[in-house]
Structure 1
Amino acid sequence: MDLIDQLRYFTPLDVIAVIYLIAAWMVLGYIIETPPKSRISTSVLVAQYRRGWMVQMTTRKPRIFDATILSTLREGTSFLASACLIAIGGGMAAISNAERLSDVASELALDTPRVIWEVKILLALFFVTNAFLRFIWSNRLFGYCGVVMASTSNDEADPQALPRARKAGELNITAARAFNAGLRGIYFALGALGWLFGPGGLLVATTLTIVILLRREFWSSSRQILMREDA
């Protein structure tokens, strides 16, 4: 059986499910990063606090506290990037041993060629790889933020102090945006694994991923806390 014949095992519902997954990933990312003013996302709310952090940083002596927080943020990106790299390696190993999955499918009376399993695993690896690249970029941007923070004077009379602090804040926000995109990539990678159970499994897993992300960004308790007015 050649490759074309094997790919015919994919049904129109498979194509619809994959399009639904990718469209949800792209549209949801846009909605979260550029939400309507009537319903701001948690990510955007935290961005406002990041700007405030950099302004407060200009008068803090010493800046050990700020350096510690930034170091913690960079460690988080490094950890998740390493985890994604391990997942990519595991996924490639699964593809190289896709015959075992085919054997399991045969035992379950599912006549599914090896290439079908490989394509389904590759879809999940696409999201994991995207997440890995996002985390790497986020780590680098947090490093840029640290450099700008270090160049910002503690002297309030310095005319460059506040502009540089604001610049550091924008770099911090950009790094956080890449980090959040990486996290969404992991969510959708897990959702993509639902395809192993067929197109119906992918549709259900994608919908569940959308619901979880929307709730955490727009209807979570943490968002309610951030929305409260400071006393």
Structure 2
Amino acid sequence: MQVLDWIAIVLFLTTWIGLEPLMAVGWPRRKDSLMLDMVRIREAWMREVLTRDTNFIGDAAILGHTINSASFFGSANLIVIVAMSSALFMEPSAGVEAGIIAKFAPIEPIWLFQCKVLLVMATLLRGLSDFIWSVRQINYCLAAIGASPSREEDRDITAWTHALSLVVNPAIRSFSQGVRSYYFTIAAAVWFLGPIAFIVATACSVGLLLWRHSWSDTAKGVTAVRKLLDEKAAAAPVAEEGTKATIRSLIREEQ
């Protein structure tokens, strides 16, 4: 195993393990972070769930779509994991002397080839775990929404919004983490072509992920929605006070 292989694997593990916690707190753009903006948007969604006139069918359909997506990705991960596990039990010469990869990759010992297979499987397993946990959490979220009080009941909207947000945000975040794991799966698979290709693939995967979450049109659109929600929230107390003043003036006129 070359020194470049060690450098590549250390770089990969550092970014694979450390990137998610950094992005969760808003890095690299804390002010306009897509992940933090989505937390605010989902909170507004839960408030609308509690205050809108219609029932929860549309909201349940949205969450149901996420469950279906997570189930699909989880099943795909499981199939690929089982398929790749066969590489751990094949003839030693089959993995390093035959196949398309062998035409481009250097000759290497079988144990190193199997380590590369295990790394790809590890990224898929992490994604599978995220998808499974996402499905479980979304089911909890559906139950929580179904248990929320109706408009006719006495309720604390702020407290209920906060409680529902505590359930829905981790659920959707787990699904997103599972999707983001594919970036690292692709980078890990490139290790078969050598350590230099592995380093380049890791850097490109991280760069693409950060760009899509910080500077893409979607990220800008999400930030714009969050700002509109903030403006709406800031204007709400003013509008409410104006309504109260109007009511008081009408009462005085009647008197």
Please indicate the TM-score interval, normalised by the length of the shorter structure.
Answer: 0.7 to 0.9
1:92 aligns with one of 60, 81, 85: 85
Cα distance, 1:28 vs structure 2? 1.7
* Paired AA for residue 54 in structure 1: M
What's the counterpart of residue 195 of structure 1? 191
**Inter-CA distance 176–93: structure 2 relative to 1 (3 Å threshold):** same
Q: Could you say what secondary structure the match of 1:86 adopts? A: helix
Distance 1:109 1:14, change over 3 A: closer
Which residue number in structure 2 is paired with residue 142 of structure 1? 138
1:152 aligns with 2:148: yes
Q: For 2:150, what is the secondary structure of its paired residue?
A: coil
Match for residue 164 of structure 2 among 150, 159, 168: 168
Distance change in 2, residues 1:174/1:65 (3 Å)? same
Identity, in percent, stands at 26
Q: Which runs of 5+ in 2 are unaligned?
A: 232-255
Number of aligned residue pairs: 222
Q: Does 1:50 align with 2:42?
A: yes
Letter in 2 for 1:103: E
SS at match of 1:54: helix
For residue 21 of structure 1, what is the aligned residue in structure 2? Answer: 12
Change (3 A) 1:107 1:157: closer
CA RMSD of aligned residues (A): 2.1
CA distance in 1, matches of 2:103, 2:42: 54
Q: How does 1:1-231 map to 2 (within 5 A)?
A: 10-35=1-26, 38-60=30-52, 61-97=54-90, 99-104=93-98, 110-155=106-151, 157-160=153-156, 162-228=158-224, 229-230=227-228
Give the TM-score, by structure 2 length: 0.80
Q: Distance in 1 between matches of 2:174 and 2:222?
A: 21
Are residues 160 and 188 of structure 1, via their aligned partners in 2, closer, same or farther at CA, if it must alter by over 3 Å? same
Q: Which consecutive unaligned segments of at least 5 residues does structure 1 have?
A: 1-9
